[in-house]
Chains A and B, each alone.
Chain A
Amino acid sequence: MSDHHDDLPAFCHPVSTKLLFGVFFGLIALTILTVATSALGSALGMPPAFAFPLAMVIATMKAFLVCAFFMHMWWDKSFNVLAFLSSLLFVTLFIGMTMMDTGEYQPTIEAFDVNNLANVEVSE
């Protein structure tokens, strides 16, 4: 997809303006789509549980377009791509592990008697 200029060094891949503008208009279209689905989704009978995943799918499509073409990942060294994608793996781990732990103190919270606070010792 990049322009082919014989006189350019091997590491220089200018992306064609056509492609860049195409990606830009694609991003704008997806932005409008995500605002529209958020504004009209419930009116059109879309189940509310569906709205959040849909917004995230659209955001990920936009992120793909930006990464692949604006950030030249499509033509980049695979090691760079690997480094970048590995960060996403760690983010997933970070969020996942924390989420697994959130219920840890739930029994204590539920056992907490709001109406009988006199019995609760205040540590401060």
Chain B
Amino acid sequence: MAVADSHDTHDDHHDLHDHGEFIAHHFDSAEQQFDSGKLGIWLFLVTEILFFSGLFVAYTLYRTNHPEVFEQAHVFLNKYLGGLNTIVLLFSSLTMALGVRAAQLGRNKNCSIYILITMVCATMFLGVKAVEYSHKWDMGILVRSAFNLTYTHPTPTTEIGKALHISDYLVYLCVVPALLLAGFIVASVISKLINKGTLAKFMIAMAITVSGYFLGVCVGIIFMNATEGETGSTHASVIAEQPLMLLASTQDDHAEGDHDDHDKAAAASNHEGEHSDHEEHFGSHPADGGEASFDAHHPDPSTLSRDVGIFFSIYYCMTGLHAIHIIAGIIALAWLYWRSLLGHWRTDYFGPVDYVGLYWHLVDLIWIYLFPLLYLID
């Protein structure tokens, strides 16, 4: 991308029809430039796959050694929300491919529209993800070290949370997008006032993009309530009587363990506590009909393996890294949108759209594997 693009930084003349306007001086032809860029982006995608593969190794290793943890953990993931996000991402891939086609044919206006739809889908994906994450954080489903499943949905303390009956965490996750939305609206008004038409257009598109996030949040909440309606507060209150079960049992062992010594012994007994606790759950679960009393949707925290938190460590790493890639993709797409508004794409110069498109499809590709691996464990 950088290669393909190095020219336009020192290119000030505005004759778009001058052949080879965007061809950097070290390339013989548009084709050579395009092929070099393409090879570059493919190599980048290779490194991306290898980058993600470390997490896939962690997943494979843990799943083959502890399949029972995955069976206990997957019930906390809503496969319909995951499916919705899959479809949103697949649709964004379609619009991206259509955007590449439009750029290849030199149709800048169509290209900008497709890119805008792609960006809206991307932020919508993040919105749905925010609903999923905040729902889990509310229930105490966190990474291994902080995992403390209680099912108690804490009552919101923020004003917005109270007013809309949404989780505080969701409110926090909406702060940055809300600020961005306000910023882009203000920026579009200012650029309109100072007669920067293209800039105003760009800022409006960015505002639309960010509002896609709130659309995702709304759709996510509706979807979650529809598919998890029974996860209401009635159930939570039943379970609430035995929260911190896991912590409590660890502390019991703890108390028994260390009579004599202080710091070192405490650390050691903590280990012991973990081990015996671990053993207990492991021992009791598969053999003595633990499976039968296992409520598929709201398992009692005390019947769960303590290591369910490790599944969620893996889950947060994989989906979090993927979400970071989505954000990076949105920034790259915003740049493409700007250049579409400037009418840069021509039949012999569409490389950047193609390259970002390839990146975007790779992000989609990774989700295609993450979805069954994380959500569809049965």
Which residues of A does B touch, CB under 8 Å?
Answer: 5, 7-15, 17, 20-21, 23-24, 27-28, 31-32, 34-35, 38-39, 41-42, 48, 51-52, 55-56, 58-59, 62-63, 66-67, 69-72, 76-77, 79-80, 83-84, 86-88, 90-91, 94-95, 98-99, 102, 114, 117, 122, 124
Residues of A within 8 A of B347 (CB): 5, 7-9, 12
Q: Is the pair B98, A20 in contact by a Cβ cutoff of 8 Å?
A: yes
* With contact pairs A80-B42, A124-B268 given, residues A9 and B31 touching in the complex (Cβ less than 8 Å): yes
Of A7, A13, A17, A55, most buried by chain B (CB within 10 Å of CB) is: A55
Task: Knowing A59-B372, A80-B39, A84-B45, say if A24 contacts B90 (CB, 8 Å).
Answer: yes
Could you tell me if B104 and A12 are in contact, using CB atoms closer than 8 angstroms?
Answer: yes
Is B288 close to A, CB under 8 A? no
Q: Are A12 and B350 in contact (CB under 8 A)?
A: yes
- Cβ contacts B335-378/A at 8 Å (1 or 0 each): 00000000000011010001001100110110011011100111
Query: Does residue B272 face the partner (Cβ distance < 8 Å to A)?
Result: yes
B169: interface (CB < 8 Å): no
Contact call A9/B90, Cβ cutoff below 8 A: no
Q: Which residues of A contact B57 (CB under 8 A)?
A: 94-95, 98
Q: Is the interface of B mostly helix, strand, loop or mixed?
A: helix
Cβ-defined contact, B361 with A66, below 8 A: yes
- CA gap between A95 and B368 in the complex, in Å: 19
Q: Does the CB pair A80–B38 fall under 8 Å?
A: yes
- The stretch of B58-66, B185-193, B302-310 that contacts the partner chain: B58-66
Contact pick for A51, options B101, B271, B378, CB 8 Å? B378
Chain B residues with CB under 8 A of A83: 39, 42-43, 46
Number of B residues near A (Cβ < 8 Å) is: 62
6 closest cross-chain pairs (CB), A and B: A55-B372, A38-B376, A87-B46, A24-B94, A91-B53, A14-B104
The one of A8, A31, A48 that contacts B87, using a Cβ cutoff of 8 Å: A31
A14 to chain B, nearest CB (A): 4
Type the 1/0 row for B93-107, where 1 means its CB is closer than 8 Å to any CB of A: 110111011001100
Q: How far is the CA of A122 from the CA of B261 in the complex (A)?
A: 13
Least CB distance from A37 to B in Å reads 8
**B297 CB within 8 Å of chain A:** no
Q: Within 8 Å of chain A (Cβ to Cβ): is B147?
A: no
